[in-house]
C-alpha cells in the first residue's frame, strides 16, 4: 500500500520551506514518513537553479536564493500554487523523467478542467498554452528522494517576472489562469482539482491530509 500525506501549509517564507524540505528528505530516507506533497505560497521570491546564467537576473527587487534544483531562474509569489514533492522514487518504481512527465500530466489535466488545452514542449520542462508558459517544474533528487517541485500561475502578478528571464526566456512568455480566463480564479478550487489529479496519476492507495500552518506537525 502506498500512502501520500498532503500538507497544505499556506503562506510561508521561502527559506523556511527549503529547510523543511531538507528535513523531510532526511526523514523519508529513514522511512520515518511517507511520500509528502507540500502545498505552499511564498511572498515574492526569486530562485536560481543550477542552470541559471548571469544574464537571467534582471532586477534584485525580491529576495534571491541560489538553490540545487534543476532549471534556471524563476519567480515565486502570491497567486501561485506551489507544490514541493518529497517522494521515494525507488519505492514508487519510477525514474526522474517519468516523474516530470507525471507532474506535467497532473498540471495539464487540472487546466483541462478550466477548458485550457495546455501541452508539453519537448526539451522545455513545464506546461505551456499557445506558446506561453503557465507552470514551471524544477526538481532535485538526493539518494532517490525528490524535493522541490512545481508552481502553477493562478492569479499571479505577471509583472513580477520582469525581474528575471524565466527559464532563460523573455518575461512576456509567462501567463496565468487569470490572464487566460480574464477573471480571478478560486485558488482553493484549483488546489482541490490538482490534488485529485495528483493522487490519481501517481496511484496512491491512501491519502492523509494536514491543514495546518505549523510545519512541526509534518514530520511526526
Please, are residues 73 and 166 in contact by the beta-carbon 8 Å criterion? yes
Residue (of 104, 106, 109, 141) closest to 124 by Cα position: 104
Residue (of 4, 3, 7) closest to 191 by Cα position: 7
Beta strands 64-66 and 73-76 are: unpaired
Please, are residues 70 and 126 in contact by the beta-carbon 8 Å criterion? no
Global pTM value: 0.93
Dig out the grid coordinates for 204 from the structure: 496512491
How is residue 193 annotated by DSSP? Answer: H
Residue (of 73, 81, 115, 89) closest to 25 by Cα position: 89
Q: Which residues contact 134 (CB under 8 A, 6 or more apart)?
A: 107, 111, 116, 118, 127, 128, 152, 153, 174, 175, 176, 177, 180
**10-residue block means of pLDDT along the chain (220 residues)?**
93 96 97 97 95 88 94 95 98 96 98 97 92 96 97 97 89 96 97 97 94 47
How is residue 133 annotated by DSSP? Answer: E
**What pLDDT does residue 147 have?**
98
To which residue does cell 514508487 refer? 92
**What pLDDT does residue 166 have?**
87
Please confirm, yes or no, whether 182 is among the known catalytic residues: no
**What pLDDT does residue 168 have?**
80
The fold of the 3-93+138-187+205-219 domain, in CATH, is: BirA Bifunctional Protein; domain 2 (3.30.930)
Of the listed 34, 106, 151, 167, which one is catalytic?
167
To which residue does cell 512527465 refer? 101
**What pLDDT does residue 3 have?**
95
**What pLDDT does residue 212 have?**
57
Residue (of 81, 79, 61) closest to 6 by Cα position: 81
Amino acid at each position: 500500500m502506498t500512502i501520500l500525506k498532503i500538507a497544505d501549509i499556506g503562506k510561508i517564507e521561502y527559506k523556511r520551506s527549503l529547510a523543511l524540505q531538507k528535513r523531510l528528505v532526511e526523514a523519508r530516507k529513514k522511512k520515518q514518513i511517507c511520500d509528502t506533497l507540500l502545498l505552499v505560497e511564498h511572498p515574492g521570491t526569486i530562485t536560481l537553479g543550477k542552470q541559471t546564467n548571469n544574464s537571467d537576473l534582471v532586477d534584485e527587487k525580491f529576495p534571491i536564493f541560489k538553490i540545487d534544483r534543476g532549471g534556471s531562474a524563476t519567480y515565486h509569489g502570491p497567486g501561485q500554487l506551489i507544490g514541493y514533492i518529497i517522494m521515494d522514487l525507488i519505492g514508487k518504481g519510477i525514474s526522474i523523467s517519468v516523474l516530470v512527465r507525471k507532474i506535467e500530466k497532473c498540471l495539464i489535466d487540472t487546466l483541462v478542467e478550466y477548458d485550457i488545452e495546455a501541452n508539453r514542449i519537448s526539451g522545455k520542462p513545464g506546461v505551456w498554452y499557445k506558446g506561453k508558459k503557465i507552470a514551471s517544474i524544477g526538481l532535485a533528487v538526493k539518494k532517490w528522494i525528490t524535493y522541490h517541485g512545481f508552481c502553477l500561475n493562478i492569479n499571479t502578478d505577471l509583472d513580477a517576472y520582469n525581474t528575471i528571464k524565466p527559464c532563460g526566456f523573455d518575461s512576456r512568455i509567462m501567463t496565468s489562469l487569470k490572464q487566460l480566463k480574464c477573471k480571478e480564479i478560486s485558488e482553493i478550487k484549483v488546489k482541490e482539482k490538482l490534488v485529485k489529479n495528483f493522487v490519481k496519476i501517481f496511484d496512491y492507495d491512501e491519502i492523509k491530509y494536514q491543514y495546518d500552518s505549523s510545519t512541526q506537525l509534518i514530520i511526526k
